[in-house]
Structure 1
């Protein structure tokens, strides 16, 4: 028995295993997302303070110089928030937010009033003037004044310039004045503590330079808080921002998910109940405009969604995706469509081909459901929706054409003794491609390599579109596995170069994540699945 004959006998069983696993993984993935996850209960549904920004509806952004939030809108928001929070933190005095202190007082709430500072000195002056007026007018409603938020982190002001603004505010009011920044920047600029009444630090385990897993996040917060208290003896230390995102990419082992947001907030409130610690949670409402700055994850730090609905309860199990049955339904629809379309004009007989088509359709449907879910959270405008939907449609067409070819091979009689000549070349766009499938494979290799470059060199805020690329990657791998009776042709030079790049880029993503990110390993697996058929064909054709 020759090595080729041995492999030919194993190819079909291996292909069946891959196909069944792909369909089973799709079902299991969505089933797990729909399972209730037991979490520790919060000791209370009341929270001391929460960040408040009203820019949560379509098209709303604080970067719009003409944006204005009406007092009526703020009144409605604070009335609702007053049932869960004793205090709100703002970040700016402009665009109508200067009305927050007075309105909050109507509902017995206190305000950490924010003064936004940046490079624009004229805008800084307007912020300061409005804040000074509000400090005199609404002092009874203020818990503190936060002069500047992460302006040192953004490198928009020097420490000396920032200290000048803080001292000016402190001299004009008896309300406690502070500055807020990530805790490492307080370590780098400890002199600011001399001009502030207290120290306000941000501890966001997800965003740390060394991301912290959600299971270890509260221990990290406690350690950092105690360290900062030790570094600033005699000063009160407040946690000005802490929280966890419900959607977005995984950073190493810090996974953004609804379950992890609920886990973090409940565990944080349990911890906060055991220490004398002022704190503020980020944030009240999801802020879609932040996706322009931080990708998908930026828009989903809210305790409430954009409609003001709580995203999770403070006790009992939490479900990541209550609509998971729709994804299983999408798999079922995919199975029916692939089966119906695949049996037309077929050149094979038997149950095997039909089962193959149904499994391919189910796996494709569940994968594209994951792609659709990502679009729901990630897309910011009509262009992104159009590109995302078009990519999904191309993936579906690719999957169907591959499913037909795979079914034909799985259903055809076994005859591995003969090796057929290479597939006849076909002309597409003036290029002599290896066969009819090569243009599709080249397209997906090119797109995956392009996205891989973005992931490696600018990937901090980019999602992993696993569902989209799983469809062609697994399909082309299976087709290559089943081409046991065809002598491989030498792939095009461009294909060979792309295959090498896919392997390197996929490995680079795993290395950047220090191997701790399971999603990054899945990304590497998809890169390998698309690259290996080309690399193996190159090797065989060269010998």
Structure 2
């Protein structure tokens, strides 16, 4: 129950000041951002169209109904003049007929994979749809990023292209990241137009949204020089609204709005056609690409537009709800924590601390059901192991396909279950931390709570080591889970401060919250190694196909790689978090093991 003295001065003044300050900070952080670009026409040429809703996925073959597809096409028509599909069977098989009904143009696609039977079905369906619905199917694309995935080689793709070109009247193309066209120029002789993907966020050398114009000009210039006179379609151009950053490429609502408002202006200025990726958020993509892969849509999964074509843009989703919950939670925590007899200074310190802890807890809870930090998010590891086994002959490709599909069938349930585990763990950790803080502020012994806090701290250390290894070796498609570590990062100094404010003669050293003596040094050093590893991993991650195409000489590459070690603020913050978790271990490792009880 609350201590009634908190409603008397000076404690009441301290709580009021801290609450008002927190409210002002949240107001400033959540205020709409004026990005300085408006798109008054309000419609774009085309959008990647995948009408999957929550719980639906091509990986599990859980398809939208024809009614859902038609509703989405009618909705998309308000913002886009046409749509691009990626497959001729499954969710997109009804799109040509429905698009004709709604007056939308379609860039229809066939999905090519390493499975010959599936490719035959896709190509046949594409040919049939193009001939049956010429009024809606304006162009076709045979295969999407097949070379990038290494499912087929250029010769196999050419055979499919030639077959389609001989069977339909519409222009035919193949789509891939622009660098793969330069590596496989023979493909250009078998298409009517080039479909290249320019995604400054995803490229090996990511670019900020303010540098998008320079990146587009550079890439289009290289393609035009290599294939003079060939028409060009930017088959994928877009920006994610949420997820991990990639160096200067920051995934958020203002940057996405900047990109989509500026894109049609660039197209008019430099004379290229484009397709926006994508119309709707695709939650299923989080299983392969983390949170960022699921958040590229102009519309969210509930079909709500994320930002307008003109005016200011919200800085982050549900800003008002998160701000209100944080401020009210901090107010309640402060009223519960401040003991009788605290003066203004000490009461203000506790009230401010309560607002910080509430903000950390709310942010952690919010991200627990948004970030794809789950067993499902490490699917990249299984993919690479299976594909390596297939490439080396240890497993044949049909077996790999069956194993991978079986794994993907389980990942939605795993992801949802793990999100609930993280939510419950955050609630428990917040409760333990708050109770231990109150005990210390009131000068009480709480050995049971201290043991629970130590167990929680060690669980965070174990999670941090696992995450750092994943980010270091292949973090491109993994979230950077900074919100997951707000509680230990804030809790450790909070417990120390609480003991000081209460005038504890022992000061309650952090040894009570760390591992037994012999293990402290090892864990601390592993955390420091993880901090270095995530920075190195982020730097070397830029070396890929389009990076080498853009910078053929190592004299150009070396300084860029060095710069990449330090350009991602999220990775640097993650490294700092690892160091922060290591400090108590390194500071206390010389103390006797008995002091840790």
Q: TM-score, normalised by structure 1?
A: 0.84
How far has the Cα of 1:275 moved from its partner? 2.5
How far has the Cα of 1:478 moved from its partner? 4.7
In 1, Cα distance between equivalents of 2:505 and 2:217: 59
In 2, Cα distance between equivalents of 1:38 and 1:250: 19
Aligned counterpart, 2:420:
386
Aligned counterpart, 2:68:
73
In 1, Cα distance between equivalents of 2:452 and 2:234: 60
Preserved contact between residue 51 and residue 69 of structure 2 (Cα < 8 Å): yes
Alignment of 1:149-228 (within 5 A): 149-228=144-223
395-404 or 511-520, which deviates more: 395-404
How far has the Cα of 1:492 moved from its partner? 2.0
What do residues 176-199 of structure 1 show as CA deviations (whole Å, max 9, x unaligned)? Answer: 110000001111111000111111
Residue 451 (structure 1) aligned with residue 504 (structure 2) = no
In 2, Cα distance between equivalents of 1:436 and 1:124: 55
Alignment of 1:44-83 (within 5 A): 44-55=41-52, 57-65=53-61, 67-83=62-78
Cα–Cα, structure 1 residues 101 and 323, in superposed 2: closer, same or farther, change >3 Å?
Answer: closer
Aligned counterpart, 1:287:
282
Residue 534 (structure 1) aligned with residue 580 (structure 2) = no
In 2, Cα distance between equivalents of 1:290 and 1:448: 24
How far has the Cα of 1:107 moved from its partner? 2.4
Preserved contact between residue 334 and residue 355 of structure 2 (Cα < 8 Å): no
Match among 523, 532, 538 for residue 498 of structure 1:
523
Aligned counterpart, 1:17:
none
Match among 480, 487, 500 for residue 471 of structure 1:
487
How far has the Cα of 1:214 moved from its partner? 1.4
In 2, Cα distance between equivalents of 1:105 and 1:53: 17
Aligned-residue CA RMSD (Å): 3.1
Preserved contact between residue 261 and residue 309 of structure 2 (Cα < 8 Å): yes
In 2, Cα distance between equivalents of 1:450 and 1:30: 36
480-489 or 306-315, which deviates more: 480-489
384-393 or 437-446, which deviates more: 437-446
458-467 or 184-193, which deviates more: 458-467
Cα–Cα, structure 1 residues 292 and 115, in superposed 2: closer, same or farther, change >3 Å?
Answer: same
Preserved contact between residue 43 and residue 269 of structure 1 (Cα < 8 Å): no
Aligned counterpart, 2:545:
none
156-165 or 470-479, which deviates more: 470-479
In 2, Cα distance between equivalents of 1:427 and 1:329: 33
Aligned counterpart, 2:86:
91
How far has the Cα of 1:459 moved from its partner? 2.2
In 2, Cα distance between equivalents of 1:204 and 1:406: 52
Structure 1 stretches of at least 4 aligned residues deviating more than 6 Å after TM superposition: 20-27, 487-490
Cα–Cα, structure 1 residues 131 and 510, in superposed 2: closer, same or farther, change >3 Å?
Answer: same
464-473 or 196-205, which deviates more: 464-473
How far has the Cα of 1:72 moved from its partner? 2.9
In 2, Cα distance between equivalents of 1:276 and 1:385: 45
Preserved contact between residue 33 and residue 321 of structure 1 (Cα < 8 Å): yes
In 2, Cα distance between equivalents of 1:79 and 1:377: 28
Aligned counterpart, 1:324:
319
Preserved contact between residue 248 and residue 295 of structure 1 (Cα < 8 Å): yes
Aligned counterpart, 1:42:
39
Aligned counterpart, 2:552:
none
Describe the SS at the equivalent of 2:370: helix
Aligned counterpart, 1:32:
29
- Unaligned 5+ runs, structure 2: 1-16, 373-411, 539-564
What do residues 167-217 of structure 1 show as CA deviations (whole Å, max 9, x unaligned)? Answer: 011111121110000001111111000111111100111001111111112
157-166 or 504-513, which deviates more: 504-513
Preserved contact between residue 449 and residue 501 of structure 1 (Cα < 8 Å): yes
Residue 144 (structure 1) aligned with residue 139 (structure 2) = yes
Residue 238 (structure 1) aligned with residue 233 (structure 2) = yes
Match among 351, 360, 373 for residue 353 of structure 2:
360
Preserved contact between residue 241 and residue 280 of structure 1 (Cα < 8 Å): yes
Preserved contact between residue 144 and residue 174 of structure 2 (Cα < 8 Å): yes
Preserved contact between residue 472 and residue 534 of structure 2 (Cα < 8 Å): yes
Describe the SS at the equivalent of 2:135: helix
What do residues 316-371 of structure 1 show as CA deviations (whole Å, max 9, x unaligned)? Answer: 11112364333333333333443344357x8x754555433322221111112222
Describe the SS at the equivalent of 1:112: strand
Cα–Cα, structure 1 residues 437 and 288, in superposed 2: closer, same or farther, change >3 Å?
Answer: closer
Preserved contact between residue 429 and residue 456 of structure 2 (Cα < 8 Å): no
Aligned counterpart, 2:388:
none
Cα–Cα, structure 1 residues 457 and 252, in superposed 2: closer, same or farther, change >3 Å?
Answer: same
In 2, Cα distance between equivalents of 1:388 and 1:31: 29
Describe the SS at the equivalent of 1:280: strand
In 2, Cα distance between equivalents of 1:519 and 1:196: 41
Preserved contact between residue 23 and residue 327 of structure 2 (Cα < 8 Å): no
Larger Rg: 1
In 1, Cα distance between equivalents of 2:249 and 2:22: 22
What do residues 265-323 of structure 1 show as CA deviations (whole Å, max 9, x unaligned)? Answer: 11112111212211111111111111111110111111112222221111111112364
Match among 272, 275, 280 for residue 277 of structure 1:
272
Preserved contact between residue 26 and residue 367 of structure 1 (Cα < 8 Å): no
In the alignment of these two chains, the number of paired residues is 501
Name the one with the larger helix percent: 2
In 1, Cα distance between equivalents of 2:18 and 2:293: 34
